[in-house]
Amino acid sequence: MDSLDRALEHDTGDVQAFKDGVALIQDQLLCCLKKHGVERIETVGMDFDPNFHEALMQTESDQHEDNKIVSEMEKGYLLNGRLLRPSRVCVCKKPNKENDVCENNEDIGE
């Protein structure tokens, strides 16, 4: 809390310096929470797991594997290994090549 108070009182007009200071405070808070058993759930690049992740949306992509987490909208947390809040994520869905072939054949008149 003292670090937040100092950050709010300190006005240099330098936005990047302010962001860097807030990031340091965030690290301090996460370190303190970790001492009490709270940790973030890893998401991006991981397999979607409904026990730890809440899918808010799906996106079709050839650049990611099916059912992999592409982005995170809200971080999730565990307390001593138990779910406090699931991560809210966007999950990759591979484009269906069979449907594309059928649609293309219908366009051609086959």
User: How far lies 34's CA from each of 11, 24, 37, 81, in Å?
Assistant: 30, 15, 5, 11
**Which pLDDT score is estimated for 78?**
96
**Which pLDDT score is estimated for 98?**
57
Query: Residues 5-19: pLDDT tens digits?
Result: 887 787 777 888 888
Query: Residues 44-86: pLDDT tens digits?
Result: 889 999 999 999 999 887 777 888 999 999 999 999 999 999 9
Highest mean pLDDT among 57-61, 89-93, 96-100, 104-108: 89-93
Tokens of 4: 């937040």
Model-level pTM? 0.70
Q: Which amino acid is at 4?
A: L
